[in-house]
Amino acid sequence: MLIASRGLSRRAALTGAASVVATAATLPCQLQAREPLRAADTLGSLGAAKGLLVGASFAMHETEKPYGARYRELYLREMRSLTTELELKMPTVRPSRDIIEFAPADQSFDFASKHGLPVRGHTLVWNDNVPQWIKSLSTLDAGYHMDAHIETVLERFRGRAYAWDVVNEPIAPWDRLPGNLRAGPYLAAYGEDYIARSFRLARHFDPAAKLVLNEAFTETADDLGQAFRASFLNLVRRLKDRGAPIDAIGLQCHLKSGKPYDFPRFCAFVEQLAVLDFDIHITELDVDDSAYPRDLTARDLRVAALYRDFLTAVLPIPAVKVLTFWQLADHTSWLYYSDVEKRPSAERRPRPLPFDQNFIRKPAWSAIADALRAMPPR
């Protein structure tokens, strides 16, 4: 079989062939001619062919929905790693002071290891997504529970994640604090040292994992993006000077229609991080299409173009080793859920991702695939 001769695993070959048939049979005819019909072509396999690890955030609760089997199959076919979207966050693991809830995270890790998929553990310390009971503690107690949380999670999952988003989103200019650091109980407890402290603890409790500092909002060519890039780069330089055990920088890359972008300028920022000897992980890529035209075809093509422009600029940077999407299918996106909450009766829903609500490839998939094919190998 042609597929087998390309050295594909039997699973990938079979599901790859099935997906091509499904795609060809259900795509509008004007797109069928464009859709790459090579069964081996998935975003994960195209990335792997260039030495890039391609993954997406994965949410266990989606596997219990009526479409759960198709959701799982999509990830097994298209992805080569999973990021825990909710299961390792403090509100899930520690909903109250006297509860430790590991079941969702156990299920995520068990699913990933059953299918041989590496896991990005997201996230250990985040001053924004803090359970209410932590907020009510003294700063001393909040600091104690930050340390205890890192130890508790890593004691249980040591060696099971290839990378940890140890600290998420340390910058928040709107809090108007020195260094534009994000306010929160852990900053109050330890000052800026909460970041290096978290990485030292993570290194101690999971010495083999890649430790990642993960940031948002660094992409746009406006005052906010510039403030984030400058503040984050200064922070990273201070952390490096102090010997914080950071292996990689995570750039979330939640792109947004209607925002200004200057990707060569963004890539210069990425290169400034790379020369500090950090790997770069694109950790949460998606496109908020809310400012694009109402017409579905036009909107999908605009989303595809933004994916193409961004990835064509960023993927040639050798330090970029990981590309992770924030979900894969439109209706499982955080943008979709928040839109349903805000506009329950609206007809038009976000279409931010490479797959639609029927798990069928969209023009964005082809744009991403083309950028992966065009990138230089690692």
Interacting residue ranges for ligand G3I, rule: CB under 6 A: 61, 85-86, 89, 129, 168, 216, 252, 284, 334, 337
Please answer whether residues 367 and 304 qualify as being in contact, where contact means their C-beta atoms are separated by less than 8 angstroms.
yes
Residue (303 or 372) nearer to ligand G3I, CB: 303
Q: How far is the CB of 215 from ligand G3I (least distance, A)?
A: 9
CA distance 211 to 163: 6
Distance between first and last Cα of the chain: 29
Residue (153 or 216) nearer to ligand G3I, CB: 216
Q: How far is the CB of 58 from ligand G3I (least distance, A)?
A: 11
Residue (102 or 337) nearer to ligand G3I, CB: 337
Q: How far is the CB of 286 from ligand G3I (least distance, A)?
A: 9
Which residue in the shown chain puts its C-beta closest to ligand G3I?
334
Residue (16 or 225) nearer to ligand G3I, CB: 225
Residue (157 or 334) nearer to ligand G3I, CB: 334
CA distance 129 to 168: 9
Q: How far is the CB of 118 from ligand G3I (least distance, A)?
A: 19
**With 0-12 CB in 10 A as exposed, 13-18 as middle and 19+ as buried, what is 176?**
exposed
Q: What is the 3-state secondary structure (H, E, C) of 69-118?
A: HHHHHHHHHHCCCEEECCCCCHHHHCCECCECCCHHHHHHHHHHHHCCCC
Please answer whether residues 42 and 12 qualify as being in contact, where contact means their C-beta atoms are separated by less than 8 angstroms.
yes
Please answer whether residues 180 and 218 qualify as being in contact, where contact means their C-beta atoms are separated by less than 8 angstroms.
no
Residue (124 or 371) nearer to ligand G3I, CB: 124
Residue (292 or 326) nearer to ligand G3I, CB: 326
**φ, ψ of residue 254 in degrees (nearest 5):** -80, 95
Q: How far is the CB of 324 from ligand G3I (least distance, A)?
A: 11
Q: How far is the CB of 95 from ligand G3I (least distance, A)?
A: 12
> Which residues partner with 324 through β-bridges?
55
| Structure tokens, 41 | 């072509």
DSSP type of residue 43: H
CA distance 140 to 158: 26
The 10 Å Cβ neighbour count of residue 136 is 11
Q: How far is the CB of 122 from ligand G3I (least distance, A)?
A: 6
| Structure tokens, 337 | 């859920």
Amino acid at 11: R
Residue (161 or 372) nearer to ligand G3I, CB: 161
CA distance 74 to 56: 11
Q: How far is the CB of 346 from ligand G3I (least distance, A)?
A: 17
Q: How far is the CB of 205 from ligand G3I (least distance, A)?
A: 21
Residue (216 or 314) nearer to ligand G3I, CB: 216
**φ, ψ of residue 125 in degrees (nearest 5):** -135, 120
Single out the residue of 376, 370, 372, 332 nearest to residue 351, CA to CA. Answer: 332
Q: How far is the CB of 135 from ligand G3I (least distance, A)?
A: 15
Residue (54 or 216) nearer to ligand G3I, CB: 216
CA distance 32 to 14: 21
| Structure tokens, 149 | 């949380």
